[in-house]
Amino acid sequence: MEIIFIGTGCGMPSSKRGSPSVLIRVGNNNLLFDTGPGSLRKLLEAGFTYKDIDYLLYTHFHLDHIADLGPFIFASKYLLDLREKDLFILGPPGIKEFYNKLTSFYGKQIQDLNYELKIKELRGNFSTQDWEIHTQSLPHTSESIGYRLKDKRGKVIVYSGDTEYCESLIKLSKDADLLILECSFSEKVPGHLYPEVIGKVAKEAGAKWLVLTHIYPVCDNYDLLSPVKKVFSGKITIAEDLMKIKI
């Protein structure tokens, strides 16, 4: 699997980081997790377009994670570069209602597509012949979920989205080959993770490789790694926009 960090920031503007979006290439599919504002353009910088994505997967409905859903569908109607293959949208319960509200507002701008748009609300598992996903409700918003992706080799990637520390996150992350956790702030803020507790999650889960993302601009003034290393002795990386990882 190849992981490309399209955006590693948050909803606050940053000259260093785009809004949250992670592309994972597994089997013959391109899976794009979250599409914060500007991620459609950042995707282009990574060498991909709206025509290359097979699945859009969402953790929750905050704007910094889902704002480019409408623009993604709108762009796919561009007559000079028309998308023709089907598109799957996966997300927590409520994703269908979210999409319906978008269409009620934007109308034909994101309707009358040249392909089939398939939307599925996830309550547990989803699988194809090349990979499978398990989701877990996590404490951030009422709909927030995290993702556990496993390929045919048994390799596991976990993407937390926004969350606090909880046993459900430990269970989701158990023995992950790559654990992608949000690291919004340098100290405790409700609804988010911070370095000391991130190290605790990675250690308790037995993760092999930990990557920090969803980083607020205020964190530029802090050492995020040292507090994590005090708790977790495995490999640790701070994600940067357009960074690539293979496992």
Active site residues: 64
The order of strands in the sheet holding 209-213 is: 125-127, 131-137, 145-151, 156-159, 178-182, 209-213, 235-238
Nearest to 85 by CA among 110, 117, 128, 39: 117
Nearest to 189 by CA among 226, 218, 148, 146: 218
Distance CA 159, CA 64 (A): 16
214 phi-psi bin (left φ>0, alpha ψ -120 to 50, beta other):
left
